[in-house]
Amino acid sequence: MDKTIYTIGYGGRKPRDFTALLRDAGVRTVVDVRMRPDRANMGSFARAKLDDKGIAALLASGDIGYRSLPEMGNPFLDPAFERNWQPRYDALLAAAGPLLMVRLEALRRRSSPRAISC
């Protein structure tokens, strides 16, 4: 089983191109790490309340699963921390890194390959 984990962005992509790239790479599930995937301005890439709309439906049309794991996204939303992010990020990885690695390893053990999107 291929245990590759890819990354992919949706910015500037047409929805059909997004799913085609994933399908061509053999991706079976997209793991969405965005803090707020439900923002309406994301169009087809927004997470809808129902899986028959939004990004879940888009991916399903390409036979690709969808999973939201916002805890793996960027926790530094406060602009005051933008200038001095490195010590905070180092502390986060020291504290949460092992947990996040467990989550990544669990993803690899399931149907693969997967893609992380933010």
The average pLDDT across 78-88 equals 68
Round to whole Å and give the CA distance between 55 and 57: 5
Output the pLDDT for position 40.
67
How confident is the model over 15-74, as pLDDT tens digits?
999 999 999 999 999 999 888 888 867 889 999 988 889 999 999 999 999 998 887 776
The one-letter amino acid at 25: A
**What pLDDT does residue 23 have?**
95
Domain residue limits, the chain: 5-117
Question: From residue 39, how far is each of 29, 48, 64, 78, 82 by CA, in Å?
Answer: 21, 9, 21, 18, 22
Q: How far apart are CA 71 and CA 32, in angstroms?
A: 10
At 15 the pLDDT is: 95
pLDDT at position 82 is 63
Q: Please state, in angstroms and rounded to a whole number, the distance separating the CA atoms of residues 32 and 112.
A: 15
Which residues, in sequence order, are CB contacts of 20 under 8 Å at separation 6+?
62
Asked whether residue 77 carries a pLDDT value surpassing 60, the answer given is no
Structure-derived torsion over alpha carbons of residues 52, 42, 86, 104, reported in degrees to the nearest 10:
20
